[in-house]
Amino acid sequence: MTAEEAVGAAAAKHAARLAARDTAVALVSGRPADYLAQHAGAPGVRYLGLYGLQEIHDGQVRVDPRLEAARPARIERDLRR
């Protein structure tokens, strides 16, 4: 196990302990949500990937429909630059 993996494992263990106390715990990252769930899996923790765009629900990656609806407009605007 690398030092990075050890730190991640310790953080996941601590997050799981907090979540078990009825404390709201979320991990927000720029990485995809499924990556977070796979590498930092801890029971009771919410995983929000791509800076909150994605969230894991019932083992599936979900994107808030309101955010998804804005995506084409953003892509179109970026293409015009």
Question: Could you tell me which residues come within 8 angstroms of residue 24 by beta carbon, excluding any fewer than 6 positions away?
Answer: 46
Structure confidence by residue, pLDDT tens digits, 18-65: 767 777 778 888 888 888 888 877 777 888 888 888 998 888 899 888
Q: Where are the domains of the chain?
A: 3-80
Which pTM does this prediction carry?
A: 0.61
> Span 11-15, mean pLDDT?
68
What is the predicted pLDDT for the residue at 76? Answer: 58
Of the candidates 41, 47, 30, the residue with the CA atom closest to the CA atom of residue 8: 41
DSSP string, 50-79: GGGTEEEETTEEEE-HHHHHHHHHHHHHHH
Q: How many CB atoms lie within 10 A of CB 29?
A: 17
Which tokens go with 36? 């977070």
